[in-house]
Structure 1
């Protein structure tokens, strides 16, 4: 039984490795970003809370760093935010790394050519959720200085910024290509009426000659 499971895992791994090697350079970079970002969201704490200790004279003092409590994104504290972030991330992983899922979305929603824009849009949704969390954390130091963004949260934000930059670059490249195509189509459309007009003038001239001969 363990051998069968190992063989199945090996076969599945080889399948995804072959698929990954067929990706373009930009697709490889974005897929690696998604995997690293997903790992960071699960493995690193988002918020650090240090308890406040009251000294004998009644003054609050800072607790040791070892006594600080870490809050992860996978928990009840940020449950609603977690649902939005991970549902968006799962969609991005499926859209960029699973052919069947991508085919289902294409058939169901009917779009295909806006892949960079879709990646950027879902990352922007994730960024919007993080902005709400950061705004709340930014307000807390006015009340207490013990609740701060953990190092893991900073890593998540840096990775998210990298992903937004990568996806925005792809959107910019796609927009430039579409702009060139639009210019070509406009040139063709501008030339077409003149050719049709020339043909009409030739036919009109022929009919005018026939009338004169008649």
Structure 2
């Protein structure tokens, strides 16, 4: 066999090996709503009953590079690829390049390297989620102090997303609510239709007293989370 023939065989084998590697690599760029794959995204769905009264209160999760959803769904339990409380209604794509994955202390790109190191760092997006998941598998779920938003905030702090280690329940909720996009018009209807129905029924049946009671309920919830997050540090997990 000639040298030219040998070279062609080598090139062919090399190309085949590259193709095999390409097939085995996880897809990290394509969002597939039908298959519930949201690579490096925050995902959100309305929380039953509670969202009927306060539509911005929902269940949130964070996704691996391959798009699989992780969410803190109950005491000592983190869901993997089984988003609790229904399919995703909103999602927000995050950029892993805005995270701080320091190989050593001098390699930090975040605002506070020492505090980031003290709280725990990660070497990649998936490593940060894996560590957070192991941590929350030993935590007791509580809607008011340690919930799905706390889980997401902990992961973002571990990765120092946007150079910050001050992620908490409030700014995670605000990020998804104001920046997230609905997966479809039906998801938008599914989010707000129960609230509109409850509001109309309440006004028809009881009138203004219902609106006053609703306002007090929403005000108490917002006040609790704001005070628990920014005034009573440590009360709400993050």
Which structure would you say has the larger RCO, counting Cα contacts within 8 Å and 6 or more residues apart?
Answer: 1
TM-score (norm 2): 0.27
TM-score (norm 1): 0.29
The structure with the larger Rg is 1
